[in-house]
Amino acid sequence: MRDWILHLDLDQFIAAVELQRHPELRGRPVVVGGDGDPTRPRTVAATATYEAREHGVHSGTPLRTALRRCPDAVFLPSDPPAYDAASARVMATLRDFPVDVEVWGWDEAFIGARTDRPETLATAIQRAVRDRTGLDCSIGIGDNKHQAKLASNLAKPAGVHRLTSDNWAHVMNDRPTDALWGIGARTSAKLAELGLRTVAQLAAADPRDLAARFGPTNGPWLRYLALGKGETEVVTTPWIPRGHSRETTFTHDLTEAADITAAVAGLAEQVAADTADAGRLATRVTVKVRFTPFLTRTRQTTLPAATADPATLTHAALTALGRFDLTRPVRLLGVAVAYDMPDQTRTARS
């Protein structure tokens, strides 16, 4: 018996929930996003079925682009309450097992378990999720969260895969650095400039060279990932949101300062209402502005005291907005608040 970290990832979750409600669409390319109108500008796909992905449609693909790439696709509107309910049923199923569960959003969770047969446990979890919710999931098994997260991706669709320190080098060494969880395309490109293109090359890199290029904390951390290391803690308390945000992409760019100010004020009032409804207090307000075509900048204001007062939050948002140079057309505005966070307990697993 030993401790394991499992990562459960629900396969094409949003699309799968929609297919349960529309079984006649099974086997067809389906794209979910916005209000379901693919001709509406500046709306993107929340997800797509595997059949749509074969045509190059993925999460984040503009719906107009999705329509061009896959004109035969069926477009459906997003329905977050339905996804909340489906996710809750899955997580309740996991908690029926003698394991620790850390929820990471609608469609994924880390599971801490003590067992001598992790594959057997993973298969039992898959079966229970399927029987109770009708949803398929992939499960990765690892010594830590990093390994388990990568393993679940290797298990797709609806499989089980083990990735541990024992087989890490065999599975990962020849893969590009952006195959690691936490390394994106930009960081991978910067690593390539140093001649570090594979996981093995990054693992063998001098930490001092990485620190010089990426900073004293981030540099060595990149090598840490390449060595297959990762967190082994599972949060056993319910997930608590760290903040809330609202944003709007405009059909036509905003060019007048008064219109921009009014839009930010309106978003701030919505976020204030969300904060009050959640029974929380905000400590910081952030405003996001996306200029045409895609330049995005943020400014923030730290509040003197935690509050949910709409007037205070709106004033803070407008103060942050005042630090932007609004000489270019604006295509997106967002307002976010960070909450005053209580302590969360953790269960350590080695």
Active-site residues, by number, are: 108
Pairing of strands 74-76, 30-32: parallel
Q: Is the peptide bond before 176 cis (omega within 30 degrees of 0)?
A: no
For residue 265, give the H/E element and its range: helix 257-277
With 0-12 / 13-18 / 19 or more C-beta atoms within 10 angstroms meaning exposed / middle / buried, residue 65 is: middle
- Closest to 76 (Cα-Cα) out of 48, 45, 36, 47: 36
Alpha-carbon 254 to chain mean position: 29
Q: Is 26 helix (H, G, I), strand (E, B) or coil?
A: coil
Q: Which two tokens stand for residue 149?
A: 């997260």
Residue 249 and residue 329: Cα distance in Å, rounded?
A: 12
Where are the extended beta strands (E) located within the chain?
2-10, 30-32, 47-48, 74-76, 100-103, 108-115, 137-142, 160-162, 233-235, 243-254, 282-291, 295-307, 330-339, 346-348
Q: What is the C-alpha separation between 349 and 148, in angstroms, rounded?
A: 13
Residue keyed to tokens 């329509």: 67
For residues 225 and 182, the answer to whether their CB atoms sit within 8 Å is yes
Two tokens, residue 171: 């599975």
